[in-house]
Amino acid sequence: PDARARRIDTAMPQTPRLNSQQLQSGQFHGQTVRVVGKLVGVQGNTAQLQLAGAGPFAIVDHQSVAGLLVPEAVNKEYFEVIGAVQSNNMVSAMQCAQLGESFGVRILLLSSAKRTRCPAISAAPVITAT
């Protein structure tokens, strides 16, 4: 077996993964969610992620996960953010994972489509490397 075995992270609750349309719908306001996207801007304590689907960028208040969403990663890196949905497409970050440069929007679209057809997938636990 691979020495980097995977485990379920039970520290965070199970959360739905949202695309751009779901985030802007207002349906998830106040709830803890996941958003996955390409970092397209950083200014102060906020960052912009381009999510799957048409619509405005997700705005991430990343004050509590400082150090990951940095200007050097803009237009290069993909991230998954777990946080509470606020108004105006704002997600207040609780956790953030760097997914690298090759995690493409094509994967995001496929993931979003599967989750729309099968809502139970949205509640999948966080998988982390140990």
Examine residue 31 and state whether it is found in any structural domain, yes or no. yes
pLDDT at position 6: 44
Full residue range of the structural domain in which residue 90 is found: 20-116
Is 128 a residue whose pLDDT tops 50? no
Is 129 a residue whose pLDDT tops 50? no
Examine residue 103 and state whether it is found in any structural domain, yes or no. yes
Examine residue 125 and state whether it is found in any structural domain, yes or no. no
Strand partners, 107: none
Examine residue 1 and state whether it is found in any structural domain, yes or no. no
**For 42-53, what is each residue's pLDDT tens digit?**
998 899 999 988
Mean pLDDT of 95-105: 80
Examine residue 73 and state whether it is found in any structural domain, yes or no. yes
Confirm if 39 and 68 have CB atoms less than 8 A apart.
no
Examine residue 9 and state whether it is found in any structural domain, yes or no. no
SS3 content of the chain, % helix, strand, coil (to 5): 20, 40, 40
How far, rounded to the nearest angstrom, does the alpha carbon of residue 24 sit from its chain's CA centroid? Answer: 14
Examine residue 11 and state whether it is found in any structural domain, yes or no. no
pLDDT at position 80: 92
Return the SS3 of 130: coil
CATH code, domain carrying 103: 2.40.50.140
Q: Mean pLDDT over all residues of the chain?
A: 76
Number of domains in the chain: 1
| Pair of tokens at residue 44 | 């102060």
Q: Whole-model pTM?
A: 0.70
Examine residue 77 and state whether it is found in any structural domain, yes or no. yes
The amino acid occupying position 67 is G
Mean pLDDT of 82-87: 92
Q: Among 55-59, 77-81, 90-94, whose mean pLDDT is lowest? A: 55-59
